[in-house]
Amino acid sequence: MADLLGAARVIHPDFDCYVPSLPIRYFLSRARAVDLAERLFADLDEKITGYGNGRYREVILVGHSFGAALARAVWVQARGAKLNGDLALTEARPWAVSIKRLILIAGVNRGWDPHLPVGPDIRIQQWFGNVIENICGRNFLVLDVRRGAPFLTTLRLQILKIQRQIDRRDTPIVVNLIGTLDNVVAPGDNIDIATNQPVFHLEVERSGHASILQFWDRTAGDGRYRAFKLALTGSADELAAHAMSPDFIAEMVGERAAELHVTTEPLAAADNPDAPTPHAPADVVFIVHGIRDYGFWTKRLANRLKTFAIEQRKTCHTITSSYGYFPMGAFLLRAERSKRVGWFLDQYVTARATYPEGTRFHFVGHSHGTYLLAAAIDRCAAVRFERVVFAGSVVSSRFKWADFTTGRNGEPPQVRKILNYVASQDWVVATVPKALEWISYFGQGRHCGLGAAGHSGFSEAAAGLEQIRYIRGKHSAAIRPDTWDGMSSFLLADTAEAPERGAAIPTPRLVARHPHWMRAIAAAAPLAIPGIAILLAGIAAYLLALIDGQPSSFMGLAVPDYVWAIVLVVYLWVLGRILTKI
């Protein structure tokens, strides 16, 4: 940072330079990003107002790596935004209009993608953070800037909201400097086009994540200095002349609509005289599949929703993105589930940027998809949906919907109406998720954990929560085509009030109760599932104990150690394949 500070003083000798001291050295710091951002804003606010609002005619915010996110967080707070998830804007600080420029250098602007290749040092930090998250449920700073992290999600949504309300004359110039040799932050993590904020993206040749700040390097320092000087002093026209082209940016980060799997045309609406007008309020429905599922059914449900929308003279868009095949073993790991929650939150931000203000967002989730929605609204208060449908839910039956169906501080609720289908024979939910919910009584009891809401229903009443008990069938009972009319009606029909009774929603195959054998499985699961896990671990421990340097006897035969070693390896390999592929 010394080179950067020295260059800034040379280029602008009449400027005051403020370099905050933050209590972090590595991304494995336990500091929280939101606390750092609020502390930095408070310090800067005190410094600027302490000298008088009229003294500083121009404020330039410069941030490198994680500091780029902090710089953007300072700007949104100056504009009256909060980082706690409340999207309501308060009065802007008097000096907010003095922020003329933001310079983001090798920034983690969109958040790092856990599935992209990175350097070994960053990968070790990620791995260590995942281990701690799985064991303790605690996060490190490195996870606060993972793609879809609550801090970044709220920040990006606040930028989007401000950009839609701010006078264009008050919009600061934003310059993003990208090193061509940066192996820490990938282009897709650096370039954030989902905030609708005009940004000049400039490439800095022969520069890595750290070396982009080394201006006095003999080989590439001059180019880095010139790029920084251009970012610091260049006019919009000068920056545009050197910025990356939109086509190049799209090639680096991918097309947003293609990534979202957005379908916007409601079934040949151009030839339909009853099709909605282009300016009619739109409904957008996320349809998210569960584990051990490629989600092909989501496209068919999307088609039915669009057909229903035409009948209602509405415009309906659907988003059927997939997080890929998700096996049972990954599902049991908190860190792996968190990655998918981050994926969903990133999709949500992109969708909010894609569609105009006033668009109504809805959600249909099956199995693990229901967990993604519940975890998303629990972790990020800025996420909002109108109507939500759960099928085969693996969310805890103790989930407190009342915390999310009532607005706070004048803001609308995060979810207005929920429809939860409870199946009569969902043994998938009644076994492993139910056992994990039972265990959580003796653990941390996190607000949003795994559980058996698809088998038992939600136990706590809440405004807008409706449950259909019991739809005949197993784990996929509620996503069969004969339920789609009822889902479509709940999501898209214009009704003054939600139906008070499940029978008001067209629902086939209803039965009065679970069969006896299903109730027996559910009752035994809290003891049987941990028992099976202990048995499997005991077998591995027993095989390991047999490898003691002495031949062991098995059915009267002397078995050497290497045979037991092979058996142990094969046993662990089979378990691994079952957990990671099934």
Model pLDDT for residues 1-35, shown as the tens digit of each residue? 788 999 999 999 999 999 988 877 665 677 889 99
Domain residue ranges in the chain: 2-253, 257-504, 517-581
SS3 assignment, position 391: strand
The whole-number pLDDT of residue 549 equals 76
Distance (Å, rounded) from C-alpha 299 to C-alpha 318?
9
pLDDT digits (tens, 9 = 90+) for 59-74: 999 999 999 999 999 9
CATH of 2-253, one of 3.40.1350, 3.40.50, 3.30.310, 3.30.2420: 3.40.50
> Would the CA dihedral through 513, 514, 517, 523 be positive or negative?
negative
The whole-model pTM stands at: 0.89
The two domains 2-253 and 257-504 share their CATH topology (first three levels equal): yes
Taking alpha carbons only, the member of 187, 220, 183, 186 closest to residue 204 is 220
> Would the CA dihedral through 449, 454, 456, 457 be positive or negative?
positive
pLDDT digits (tens, 9 = 90+) for 125-138: 667 767 766 666 66
Q: Decide which of 49 and 442 is more confident.
A: 49
Cα three-residue angle 227-233-239, rounded to 5 degrees: 60
The whole-number pLDDT of residue 557 equals 78
CB 64 within 8 A of CB 106: yes
Distance (Å, rounded) from C-alpha 479 to C-alpha 540?
39
- Tell me the range of 81-90, 256-265, 317-326, 327-336 where mean pLDDT is highest: 317-326
Query: CB under 8 Å to 171, separation ≥6 — which residues?
Result: 163, 197, 198
Strand pairing partners for 559?
Answer: 552
Average pLDDT, the chain: 87
Across 561-577, average pLDDT: 91
The whole-number pLDDT of residue 29 equals 77
Residue 503 sits at φ, ψ, to 5 deg, of -65, -20
Look at strands 415-423 and 385-391 and give their pairing: parallel
User: Is the per-residue pLDDT at 264 higher than 50?
Assistant: no
Cα three-residue angle 485-490-491, rounded to 5 degrees: 100
Residues in the chain, overall count:
582
Distance (Å, rounded) from C-alpha 79 to C-alpha 492?
35
The whole-number pLDDT of residue 330 equals 86
User: Is the per-residue pLDDT at 268 higher than 50?
Assistant: no
pLDDT digits (tens, 9 = 90+) for 45-98: 998 888 765 678 899 999 999 999 999 999 999 999 999 877 888 899 999 999
Torsion, Cα of 266, 268, 270, 276 (10° steps): -30
Strand pairing partners for 317?
Answer: 284
pLDDT digits (tens, 9 = 90+) for 210-241: 999 999 888 899 999 999 999 999 999 999 99
The whole-number pLDDT of residue 51 equals 75
User: Is the per-residue pLDDT at 538 higher than 70?
Assistant: yes
The whole-number pLDDT of residue 2 equals 83
CB 435 within 8 A of CB 525: yes
The whole-number pLDDT of residue 519 equals 94
Across 366-393, average pLDDT: 96
Q: Decide which of 116 and 159 is more confident.
A: 159
pLDDT confidence band for 340 (50 / 70 / 90): very high
Assigned superfamily of 257-504: Alpha/Beta hydrolase fold, catalytic domain (3.40.50.1820)
Cα three-residue angle 235-240-244, rounded to 5 degrees: 140
pLDDT digits (tens, 9 = 90+) for 150-202: 999 999 999 999 999 888 888 999 999 999 999 888 888 999 988 888 899 99
pLDDT confidence band for 329 (50 / 70 / 90): confident
